[in-house]
Structure 1
Amino acid sequence: MKLHNNKTVLLVFSLSAKLEAERKSVFGGHKKSVSKQFFNLLIKNTLKVANNSGVDVVWLDETQQEGNTFAERYTNAYKSLYAQGYNNVISIGNDTPNLTAKHIQQAVDAMATKKVVFGPSKDGGIYLFGVHKSIFNEDAFKNLPWLTSKLSKKIHYLAIANNVSFTILETLQDVDTTNEAMQFAYSNPNLVLSNFIIAHLNFKVTPKANAASGVITSFYSTSFLRRGPPNL
């Protein structure tokens, strides 16, 4: 067992850009190479944010994760880090481009006095999850509704029901689908990632688009929604 002076670790639990591109056709099934470039940008940004957290960082992609299902792999990652001597494990993924070092620092600070901290995503999932070793229950953890829109509410409910102290961070936007990518680009028109999205999805955005909700609503109602949801 490896003991640490720093008892908090930041786990970046992610898939490689290649596998993300195969599973999430953000730019359409015929643009796998574009999707791979996109996820490489997301991963690069996530690792930059993680390395500014001030705590140990462990990045696990599919080549290092152990288990047959997402729940098993995620649970095993937490178990492994507790076994290495960490008291607090805070995990993030690679699909939340508005995640900053400030959010992670807020989570780290929260774990000094709380047993759980989580950041809800707009789709009902979470983008960050911190759990203290003392309240980690393998079976309960594994049986959470992972990868569903019920996850955030379930964690909140269980924390209250079991009288576990917790902190909730602000809600952020995941980028897993074409729709979410377009929403992100509209809301953040001056970012490198937004420029990439705009260029490869072939739509136009004006500097005032993020403030002009009517323009955005009109675009979705007359263009995107008429084509139906993306194929995942």
Structure 2
Amino acid sequence: MNQNNTSKTAILVFANSSREEVKHKAIARGDVLFDALTNHTLETVEKTRLPYFHFSEKHQFGKTFGERFTNAIQAVYDRGFERVITIGNDSPQLRPQHITEAERQLENNKFVIGPATDGGFYLMGLHKDQFDGNAFRQLDWQTSKLSKQLLSLVSNTMHVFRLPMLFDIDTVADIKSFLSYAYAIPVKIFQILLQILEEAEKTSACYILRVENLHFRLPHNKGSPLLLQSA
């Protein structure tokens, strides 16, 4: 955690450790990937020279994701900050410019959102007066509905500034899309993503070959391919 007492804006990095992430995201070499993503995120944050707080699972409390996330935002406000910019660790395209632009828009009393391609967001910036903890807890967190719900919650009372839409990474399918369409990827993360995708495709190819070598067809919705593979 880094603090700069001259700023009224702080960054909240809400990101679990790689050990915790791989429990919820089935990605081969996920520990290596999430460590690299977190390091990239923290390096990006440090370039802004804004105070920041990294809340991993060790610092979070609450039963649901929504409760833990909302409580973390409130904890930053409780430290005396007036504005909070929240980010995760799963968007390799995140740049210092995205954060500094969010800070500038917050100073103009706007609500800031950086939408993600999966319907969530990679960045959210809001003033203390804009924060309604009870309403935030009720949102459908970690779903494709989140951005729309969030904008519906705030757009009637606040001016909204939208940052460019970026990819985030939660699944192997996300990696495929990311490598096909994304730009400005950090080299180290790009190499890790390629390795994960290559391993996933090898596993898939071996699985298809093994099933095809059984020389019979299964009717739809019958049997278990996973059991056939392990037989």
Shift of 1:185: 2.4
Q: Select which of 43, 56, 61 maps to 1:66.
A: 61
Are 1:191 and 2:187 matched, yes or no?
yes
Q: Which residue of 1 aligns with 2:107?
A: 112
Shift of 1:154: 1.5
Shift of 1:146: 1.1
Whether the 8 Å CA contact 2:92–2:186 is kept in 1: the answer is no
Shift of 1:157: 1.9
Q: Select which of 141, 147, 169 maps to 1:152.
A: 147
**C-alpha distance in 2, partners of 1:165/1:53?**
24
* 23 and 55 in structure 1: CA distance in 2 versus 1, 3 angstrom threshold: same
Paired AA for residue 191 in structure 2: N
Q: Which runs of 5+ in 2 are unaligned?
A: 209-231
Larger CA Rg, structure 1 vs 2:
2
**C-alpha distance in 2, partners of 1:39/1:3?**
27
* 200 and 134 in structure 1: CA distance in 2 versus 1, 3 angstrom threshold: closer
Whether the 8 Å CA contact 1:17–1:40 is kept in 2: the answer is yes
TM score, norm. by length of structure 2: 0.80
Q: Which residue of 1 aligns with 2:215?
A: none
Are 1:11 and 2:6 matched, yes or no?
no
Q: Select which of 73, 78, 102 maps to 2:73.
A: 78
**Deviation readout 1:45-100 (Å, 9 max, x if unpaired):** 01101111221010010011111111111111111111111000110000000011
Instruction: Give 3-state SS (helix, strand or coil) of 1:131's partner.
Output: strand
TM score, norm. by length of structure 1: 0.79
Whether the 8 Å CA contact 2:4–2:51 is kept in 1: the answer is no
Shift of 1:202: 1.6
Whether the 8 Å CA contact 1:120–1:172 is kept in 2: the answer is yes
1:74-153 correspondence runs (5 A): 74-153=69-148
**Deviation readout 1:130-188 (Å, 9 max, x if unpaired):** 11001211111111221111111112222222x21221111000111001112222345
Q: Select which of 167, 174, 192 maps to 1:173.
A: 167
Instruction: Give 3-state SS (helix, strand or coil) of 2:23's partner.
Output: helix
**C-alpha distance in 2, partners of 1:3/1:102?**
19
* 202 and 124 in structure 1: CA distance in 2 versus 1, 3 angstrom threshold: same
Query: What is the count of residue pairs matched by the alignment?
Result: 198
Q: Which runs of 5+ in 1 are unaligned?
A: 28-33, 204-218, 227-232
Paired AA for residue 34 in structure 2: F
